[in-house]
Amino acid sequence: MARTLFKIFILLVFFVTSTPLFAQTDKALDHFVKAENLFNSKQFTKAIDEYTLAIKYDSTQEKYFLRKAKCQVALKQFNNAIDTFLEGLSVFPDNGVMNFQIANLYLRKDYLDDAIYYFDKAFKFNETEKIKVVAKNQIIMILFKQEKYDHVRSHINDVLAVAPNNYLALYYSAKLYNMNEEFPKAVDDIHKALEYVKSNNKSHLARFYYELGYAYYNLEEYDKLEGIIEKANYGSYRKLVLKFTPEYKYWIALCYYEIYDFEKSTDLLYTALKQDQSNLKVHELQIKIAEVTSDKTEQIQKAHHMIDNLDDDQMKVKTYQDVATWQLGSEHYEDAIKSCNETLAIDEYNYIVKYTKAVALFKLNRTKESMEVLKELVDYNGLDVKTKSKYYFTLGIVAMKEKEYDLALHSFKSAKLDKTYKVAADEVISYLKSKEDSI
């Protein structure tokens, strides 16, 4: 009898306590149905109010949070949607969809660290391969944007463990290998990526072929480059693939030849010839360097003897000018400065001689003096574009050595006016911009 009474008591308690819960659930469901009808008629603001009430009466339904947030996104109330997902995730931390959606919202608002955190959760808690792959690929792209390259490889491995043929992950894998100078691995991964990429759009494929070309170029497998360059030569990659060509090296070498940096010019020409032994312009520039740097002792002695017997100032200026140039090419920098000073004593505005003096001063590491002369030269009126570009480029080189980077950047930009200096100036500008944080 006692046991029977106890069972009746338990049933009564269950009935009394569960009845309000059922009522709460029913209320929640009523508000959810109303919300759904409002959502379908695109009355999103009113729908949000009903979803809020549904959640109030029953917070155990994941779909209530998801639908409410969907309304808020439709109204572009992104912060409110984030708050809704955070509330939902406090109840359902393992919900893969919520983690994925909030990650996308944080990405949209450029809260990148938060986006990474929730994309990682989305990868962990989603069973769908597509969402897992998208989540990790988003992390990879964010980390590249943040230049946190040391953190990327593990996420690439996660994608490829789930989807070994994912061309986007393979692309970033190859890119990372190239950055780390692991060029054979980069070649392997890009070849795999190209097997799986579905697009036939040439501009879309350009980035894949650029990475492949970059690897072949650094492996000095130049015979494989020609077809690759053609396929990568689209959009923003046009300028980049130009760097793989011997013509690019020639133009930079010519620029440094013009400013008497024969060592750098010679190194560039050597690299160009490794790619194309038959390049006539490269051979011609090598010959010019050999001529300029050859021993001019006998010519200089004869010129000095001539100067001693000259009465015409113009002839003296011309002869001193030649002597200074020969001395500069022969690396007799102190003598070159003396000859320049002799010339300038007669013709103080001779810009050709002043430039020779500026270069000789730079070669002697008297950079501040060199810079002052070059600053004066770039302000000369009446100079042709090529000459002025030459002076600006040289000023940029000197300013870099003096760590006056703003002046250097301005000078290189000004040097781009002439095509002889444009390629080399762009190269140095890219270098300066890549080092902005460290210089």
pTM above 0.85, yes or no: no
Q: What angle separates helix 167-179 from helix 202-218, to the nearest 10 degrees?
A: 30
How confident is the model over 53-96, as pLDDT tens digits? 988 888 889 889 999 999 999 999 999 999 999 999 999 999 99
Q: What is the b/e burial string over 310-324, where b = at least 16 CB atoms within 10 angstroms of the residue's CB?
A: eeeeeebbbbbbbbb
d(CA 171, CA 190): 6
Of all helices (H) and strands (E), which one includes residue 172?
helix 167-179
Pick the closest to residue 318 from 282, 301, 286, 342 (CA basis).
Answer: 342
What pLDDT is recorded for position 13? 40
Tell me whether residue 25 is exposed, middle or buried, using C-beta atoms within 10 angstroms of its C-beta: 0 to 12, 13 to 18, 19 or more: middle
What pLDDT is recorded for position 396? 95
Q: What is the mean pLDDT of residues 347-364?
A: 94
Whether the CB-CB separation of 125 and 94 falls below 8 Å is answered with yes
What pLDDT is recorded for position 434? 80
Whether the CB-CB separation of 274 and 222 falls below 8 Å is answered with yes
